[in-house]
Structure 1
């Protein structure tokens, strides 16, 4: 498996780009949620299963927002290109209620002219570097960027949650921003795809799991305390919620896809 990305990636709209080429069949691997939206390109044979182990149909180009973890099995000579976008992009592209679209791989052909996507799909496959992929995306989709990247009411709150590493409460959001908790709840359901409480937990988990992956902490207890977990069992609950497995299983599991993803910078506001 070749994992192609750029540590110094910078773009006015796109947060990150990853290309994964599979030179051999790979077993099921867990992919967790980061709270961003994505446009993804599938080339070759894959199997995908949601957090309840139900099979998911994979369009050749699809958009996905925040949701639960899912598992992917890749076959030899397949390629996966992932284009990470701001959280608000899913709602801007589809105008769907984001929470009702969670865990769905939404066919981008329903929202962009097929002639554009057909040319993009076949051209981008030949791009072997992040720079080339970016140039191809800009060439075919640039006219959509302004609408897809339009800030929503939730955008500033989402960015604030990232900046705080998820170390805050929903009540703190209503104190800092001019919205009541019920308004924030409705806003997140429509635009973000998650309750504000779950999104805060998700962001916090993504920060702490990267520190766990680096293994640079002195004591595990100090790490979970720094991220406001009450104790080990409290952290274990988030592990099972966002990765579907125990901490022990995670440490013993063979998942190069997840390990490679966790090496990338997480907060990209």
Structure 2
């Protein structure tokens, strides 16, 4: 696998976390790969062969070639049918709402063709420009021109959403929502409503996904030696709480995750 990341333009760096590319030659021995929630929304362009996303053990759908993957509340399995050649834009949790009017709760755990989120003519033109681009830098230039142009039409992100997301990112998802809102029930209801529209998932779900990211970084980069250390570092109540949350989002326990060939791609994303 050849996985690379690229920094965004300075005018996009508060919205776009990074761009990534992935190239994987076809191998009939390739196994399904589990993708885990990360708290981000991604726009992906596939220049290679189709990719299956499994909806059950044997049933699957094929990813659109140009799509947006909404917030994920659970892990899922993918498997390419041939060569992989993809580029993706990884948006911060509050990033993608700047570019569309569609409530992001409609995108949760779904892959939506970009033609359904933008005007069909501009979506078609963007996809063709990406296909015709001669290299990765040209593809990045193309998508950045598109995003910068769309920012002039941007929707306003509510301050309560911005401040909450920023705090969750700074604290790796460990700050309880009731602490952020100082037990103000009316603010909590307002936050839940704005979150569903502008982030797609609830503050609690985003908090869990962000904490999972921090946990995987510790596990895969061996910054902590034991599960107890990891639970302590990420402020879980105890090891059982850590294992329960991990399995809820990933589908397996932390021990089952490490060294699992179905987790190779997810592991690559966090190293």
Residues 100-139 of structure 1 mapped to structure 2, 5 A cutoff: 100-125=106-131, 126-129=133-136, 131-139=137-145
Q: Deviations over 1:146-190 (max 9, x none)?
A: 445743341221111101111111111212999622222222222
State the secondary structure of the residue aligned to 2:64: coil
Question: Does 2:193 match 1:189?
Answer: no
Conserved 8 A contact 2:43-2:90: yes
Question: Does 2:83 match 1:81?
Answer: no
1:169 corresponds in structure 2 to: 176
1:258 corresponds in structure 2 to: 266
d(CA) in 1 for partners of 2:76 and 2:154?
Answer: 25
Conserved 8 A contact 1:42-1:80: yes
d(CA) in 2 for partners of 1:97 and 1:146?
Answer: 19
How far apart are residue 122 of structure 1 and its match? 3.6
Conserved 8 A contact 2:33-2:79: yes
2:148 corresponds in structure 1 to: 142
2:11 corresponds in structure 1 to: 12
How far apart are residue 210 of structure 1 and its match? 0.6
Unaligned runs of at least 5 residues, structure 1: 264-269
How far apart are residue 144 of structure 1 and its match? 0.8
2:66 corresponds in structure 1 to: 61
Change (3 A) 1:238 1:147: farther
TM-score by length of 1: 0.84
1:245 corresponds in structure 2 to: 252
1:266 corresponds in structure 2 to: none
d(CA) in 2 for partners of 1:50 and 1:193?
Answer: 21
How far apart are residue 4 of structure 1 and its match? 2.3
TM-score by length of 2: 0.84
Q: Deviations over 1:48-106 (max 9, x none)?
A: 12589863442221122212222110133232221112323444444333334311111
Aligned residue pairs, count? 261
Conserved 8 A contact 1:65-1:102: yes
Conserved 8 A contact 2:196-2:202: yes
Question: Does 2:222 match 1:215?
Answer: yes
2:3 corresponds in structure 1 to: 3
Unaligned runs of at least 5 residues, structure 2: none
Conserved 8 A contact 1:24-1:76: yes
Instruction: Out of 212-221 and 117-126, give the one that drifted further.
Output: 117-126
Conserved 8 A contact 1:213-1:262: yes
d(CA) in 2 for partners of 1:159 and 1:66?
Answer: 17
How far apart are residue 46 of structure 1 and its match? 0.8
Conserved 8 A contact 2:94-2:165: no
Q: 2:31 aligns with which of 4, 27, 31?
A: 27
d(CA) in 2 for partners of 1:100 and 1:20?
Answer: 27
